[in-house]
């Protein structure tokens, strides 16, 4: 089983080729092929590669499938003994990415 740990926008994600993942918004069009250079750890046919902090010469090839939004998060603040209420919502933009291959 081949898998890798990559760093995307400060988040570390465990990925496998042939699967899709939702991650923070990437400003590119659906159908574009992108590559991630920050490979932190790689297990390829029980050969382990550990980067300090990244592995040189390895990158991940991926295709952007679509852009979507996460579930809505509601923030509600109340100040006691005052009639002060504050309600705000947030929906995080996400990008669905299909991992094609881990290349050297």
pLDDT digits (tens, 9 = 90+) for 67-87: 999 999 999 999 999 999 999
Q: Residue 91 has what pLDDT?
A: 95
Judge whether 23 and 11 are in contact, CB under 8 Å.
yes
Provide the residue ranges of all domains of the chain, joining segments of one domain with +: 3-103
pLDDT in tens, 11-62: 899 999 999 999 999 999 999 999 998 999 999 888 888 888 888 888 899 9
Among 38, 29, 33, CA closest to 95: 29
């Amino acid at each position: 089983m081949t898998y890798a740990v990559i760093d995307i926008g400060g988040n570390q994600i465990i990925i496998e080729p042939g699967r899709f993942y939702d991650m923070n918004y990437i400003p590119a069009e659906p159908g574009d092929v992108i590559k991630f250079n920050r490979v932190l750890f790689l297990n390829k046919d029980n050969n382990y590669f550990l980067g300090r902090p990244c592995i040189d010469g390895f990158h991940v090839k991926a295709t952007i499938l679509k852009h979507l939004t996460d579930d809505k998060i509601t923030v509600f603040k109340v100040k006691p003994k005052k009639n002060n209420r504050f309600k705000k919502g947030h929906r995080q933009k996400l990008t669905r990415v299909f991992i094609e291959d881990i290349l050297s």
